[in-house]
A = this chain, B = another copy of it.
């Protein structure tokens, strides 16, 4: 649930796709990577994962690329994170025994996790894009 490099790359790519969503043209991996300076072969893997989860569509062949599968305000950050992290059903290696004390501890972390999921579900790709734009405005104001 931490912000890994992997998740950040995926979100940056999706933001690029979001900002081009209105045009309807596909965006190529190279273009995304050039704008956000992401290693291209790495993003390729991430986009493949996103495609298999149905968050993006790909168009093969010349002048192909990637497209958002649905509108930017219908994709939450939780969708992205659970897709990339693979919602792996507690596949931690080498856990302590399942005693009464351990279950009480895990209850607390369940509470933490649910809180995090709520926050992530509140934000969509469109929100992020809007926030970026207002932030840019603020930066320009400071510049003047």
B residues near A8, Cβ cutoff 8 Å: 95-96, 102, 105
B106 A15 Cβ-Cβ under 8 A: no
Q: Does A136 lie at the interface of the complex (its beta carbon under 8 Å from any beta carbon of B)?
A: yes
Q: Name the prevailing secondary structure of the A interface residues.
A: helix
Closest chain B residue to A120 by CB distance? B112
A2-B2, A96-B12 are known contacts. Are A105 and B119 too (CB-CB below 8 A)? no
**Within residues 68 to 118 of chain A, which ones have a CB less than 8 A from any CB in chain B?**
77, 92, 94-97, 99-109, 111-112, 115-116
A112-B119, A115-B119 are known contacts. Are A135 and B104 too (CB-CB below 8 A)? yes
B residues near A96, Cβ cutoff 8 Å: 5, 8-9, 12, 36-38
